[in-house]
Structure 1
Amino acid sequence: MSYTEIDWQPFLDRLQYRNGDRLPVYPGNLKADLLAYSGLTGDAQGEMVYQLAVEISRLTTCCEPEIIYWFSRLIRLTTASSAEVDRQTLMIRNI
């Protein structure tokens, strides 16, 4: 499964409002669950993508829904970059 095929809706469906919070929170370990769901547990690149998603979210709301959003977008960029590298490598080998 490529990262662009991952259905992120289950994470959004689990978000909950608690004790009058103005923004919903994820009930669990968001980082561990995102990395496991995307198949990146223990992967340095996955850790980097998650940390970047957190840093970007800190610029605005710094909430878990936004972390999910940015993580899903950054994973797509990571995949596109890998695919581009693979394509260029294949082109070089064919020369």
Structure 2
Amino acid sequence: VQVFNVKDFGATGAKDQDAQSAIQSAIDACSNSGGGMVYFPPGEYTSGTVHLRSHMRLHVEAGAIVYSSKNPDTYDKESLLYGEDIENITIEGRGT
């Protein structure tokens, strides 16, 4: 399974940093390679809407926390995680 670590795409794991583009870039790279795991290592990640893709696992490791952004401009849908016409999605892990 190919692993796409959100930190490799620019997320720092600091709550005050907007990780939305890094998370979306990891998701898109996963999708473009045919699928795999998008991995959140321990840290704090703040994001607006990210668009899930087919054939991926979103793994939130123990010690990782994903926060919803308080900035309404970071949402193009009314949710943090969004997917339409997708299949084979898993959201897992001991993080929150």
TM-score (norm 1): 0.26
By percentage of residues, which structure has more strand?
A: 2
Query: Which has more radius of gyration?
Result: 1
By percentage of residues, which structure has more helix?
A: 1
TM-score (norm 2): 0.25
